[in-house]
Structure 1
């Protein structure tokens, strides 16, 4: 049986600054399980791109293997896409971003694709500070292969088969902060009010932006004893409400002094952290890491913008690459002639 989305759109649907409706950012109909948190993440990405007025054809979606890596099919159907092999999406993202710096890159991964087979590539993606938004749909299990525990499963969590996980789970947000990621956030798939502005801020950030999204697996990991079920996540959630204000809009807030923190991004946009604790500083890497760990020790899930380096330089800047995308350079620009090549060779002797 096949399913086709209707192409009709109500003539009075709201439009963004480019004249697009949110329907212009849709993808194919999802084949994931009904109620899967991944679909909520897909919707949040779609809405974030619509609200930020990013042309769909100027976005590149990249993924590996897993339930999460099927997600790019379900949003931004008019965008570029590349589904790589298991755990190897970071290599493709690095090469693509260096070839064309004018696209907005969104990497979609899962806890298996990132925290297990792809861990080595993930670490080097952070180290190189590739200019992209990297989202992990984290459900603590391998949904495509019948729900075995993944590397992010919580210590003591009980699988659907009744097995108790004897290993401490990898905290990807803490790892990203520790390894030097310039933007780190965490959210819950069921909290669109927090997730959408967080994604918008990540896409506006010039550098590697990582978001760990707890996304319960309704088939294999949404039962009593699971550490990443809907009920357990909502119970442990310690949310930091926020909003994102692009530079082209008036930047203001109605919150009283001392109850909000405004963080300015590279392009002049501002992300507001509402009712954040007075001592929390998003630009303090050590404090951010400590806050995440303290929350985890207390059984809480700290979400929101956890860390931001406002002065970071991405990979293309560090390598001093030409501002013009490599894929648009002409033959004359790529080969300057024998005289110039001789001069370069002389300088290397």
Structure 2
């Protein structure tokens, strides 16, 4: 198979310029946030100390960034080397998802100038789940940049440096599998602490397991989504056979997830809440319907060989995973005391700016770095 190559082409396309415009608009609100504090641009409060910067940019964003983790499990743990052509684009997506999640945390922290305290031993709280999440995500961002460094070295023609790094790369690959396993499950553990403030439709002692399983199938879905979009827009090698085979994992993984999900709610005696017709019940049903539909579709081999059905199924799985995490952190969360939350315009636009950075970086990386196999 051919080596990965830069796709070339103009950087300042209409898509890139539109994202740049959105980023510039978001910078106004970002400046306002750092000059006047969180209250100037957000609707966060004592009842809702986190908003979409955590729920979407971090909790959902890192799940989007689990493509590299999910592919590493297949390739390096289950020895499925046939999927190796997908690893570098998946790793790039992970790099963006986690790096920008780190940026979102910096923006979200009230006293951002003291964020370094997280890493000072005398300030550590070893009983804090949030500490484990912060340290693991921070360490994983570093690991991702190291894992991606060979791509930069190829671009620079530094073959000797690349060979030297590859001799110890197995250490970072191992860390790249361990760290997401720890912090993705811990993102679920964080909401166990919420107790009765989280609706029984989502609160369970199994939250760490459900978060871990969902991040893996979201990672695979992102890989398929990215490859499908890129193959339509750019001249890259046809990977439909590999994607078709990869999608065969979905029905079984989703089935396991849904059995655990519904059995848990039913055993705890709260399944009736899903059919009350209120917002939480409807969101629970929608979240799981978005998984049931692609599961049924992808159980049939013919649909897995259909690029359109595969693409739509991946979108549905991504939406389901996104909604599940939103439900856990925002929609199903009620702090009591009459507190309500809906993101302010500034919060939304800063998030849009972060997403715009990711899209612009994606376009620059694939056009200037050896990411994809060219057709």
Return the TM-score normalized by structure 1.
Answer: 0.31
Structure with greater proportional strand content? 1
Instruction: Determine which structure has greater relative contact order: mean sequence separation of CA pairs < 8 Å that are 6+ residues apart, divided by chain length.
Output: 2
Return the TM-score normalized by structure 2.
Answer: 0.30
Structure with greater proportional helix content? 2
